[in-house]
Structure 1
Amino acid sequence: MAAAALTDNFKGALLMMASMAAFTLNDTFVKALSGDLPLNQLLFLRGALTTVFVGLLAWRLGAFGRRIPRRDWLLVGLRLMAEIGSAYFFLTALFNMPLANVTAILQSLPLVVTLTAALLFSEPLGWRRLSAILIGLCGVLLIVRPGTEGFTLYSVYALVAVGFVTIRDLSTRRLSAETPSMLVTFLTSAAVMMFFGLGSLAEPWVTVTPQAGLFILCASVMIIGGYLSSIMVMRVGEISFVTPFRYTGLLWALMLGWVVFGDWPQTLTLVGAAIVAGSGIFTLYRERQLARAGRIRARV
């Protein structure tokens, strides 16, 4: 039994690492197009390819035959708006900042989600996790460094993106079990495609070169791979065990940022990223301990 569980956890860890690699590769292809295509046009084209594939997958899984409960539609709508906002602010920051810096700021997401859930939904938050969150946010300040010469408006954009992703994740957490995840994923992808498609009509379209077309296709494949891996992660292994492996995305960002764009973060940025990752891992570890203690008390 233990060996089987260990195998499931190992598979879950591999899937989480694959998901982070896919998402970071998607960011790399998108950033490589920052000087060639306007943001609205790029997101529309990528969104069109992604929506078609996700739609086919949702259809094969029978998601279109299920309905979203009426009480969940407000949450779904909030999630769609948050996804659009996060896409705009994150990719605008990505176009103008080193890949590793933006990714490092995004790694604060689990900390912000935990803190916000405690404030809004009164979810329990002990002093250990609260201390870890505050230390992690100090790490974010080392990355952003407000008031210094290295600070830019796009650092604020990355932080705003974290806020939107927090809204998205908390909205998803409040959805009922009857709402099919693949249908929500399809609606989200379609909403992003339509929003930026309308935005692209307000500006001249740029001719897509063969290289740009290849990069858009690769970005679409990577983000689809990230979606699929992240969905499969939820079905394999213990979530508390596999979730810390999401920080491997930072390693991918460091490597790809250096190899592809020649960017290497400053020492303070690396220290801040390490603090954020360490705080996040401790928070997840503490949540796992509390969940295990709760199960033991329930048995007694």
Structure 2
Amino acid sequence: MNSKVKSFLELVRLPNLFTAMADIMAAGWIVSGLTGHPFSIELVFLLLASALLYACGLIFNDYFDYEIDKKERPERPLPSGRISKQAALYIGLSLLPLALLLAALVNVVSLVIAVVLTLFILLYDRVAKHNYFYGPLTMGMCRLLNLLLGFSLVTDQLIENWWISLISLVYIFTVTFLARAEVGEGTYPVRVKVMATIVVLSSLAVLLIGDWDNLYISIIAILIFLIWTFKGIRLALKSPTAKYIRKAVGTCIVGLPLLVAALATPFGGLAGYLSVAVFMLASYLFTKLFAVT
């Protein structure tokens, strides 16, 4: 692989892009699964728009953190000089309008949501990520808006289903906040228990959504999600230290596509689950080649 291309894919954390597309795929099934399937050229536009917005967020993140990364992560593409800071800015500014154009090709609602998502991404990259409360909250809002972008595939379903995206917001906010909260070691056991509770409650919420005809498939999907997340949480429950809490948080965040795949299952059945879960599989395979942090 060309070294410049590899450096660019490392800059945008290629494995992470698939997690953003999983949101769109799941949302597509939620708004159209009961009446058909979400597959269309508009869905492709939203998948690409979501991936590009996520990529822009990671590019601007490294752009704003350039001085910090020179000291703490000198191996990254920007501080190592493999990609210049100016080139990264140009790439980000080029991809951003392309993402918005793709959203606009779907409908006006998609464009508006994409613009708002862009603002939250920039807010996180420039300011919010440095705050232990607003950072996780803004990150959760980005996930919520990404799901709403998928819901905009069928605009008359957006108002009816928008609240489902709150599951993703609460999940990401709580898990990330518990990892970053400025509290002492004495609270570590409580933080792990709260994290485990949120994972379980998120799973129960999924089971209460949608068509009960797919209940058995939904249960299997949730069990897969719980097995994945608790392989990290279990260690943190046994030994609630900063090391294991970080690992538990990482496992929960990487497992988010499994949660949204379960969200798609009541509406799309097995096809809905597999078409979303495949994005996590792609993400996992590419982690062998590219870093995700």
Tell me if TM exceeds 0.5: no
Name the TM-score class by shorter chain: 0.3 to 0.5
The answer to which structure, 1 or 2, has the higher relative contact order (CA under 8 A, 6+ apart) is 1
Q: Mark the structure with the bigger radius of gyration.
A: 1
If the length of structure 2 is used for normalisation, what is the TM-score? 0.34
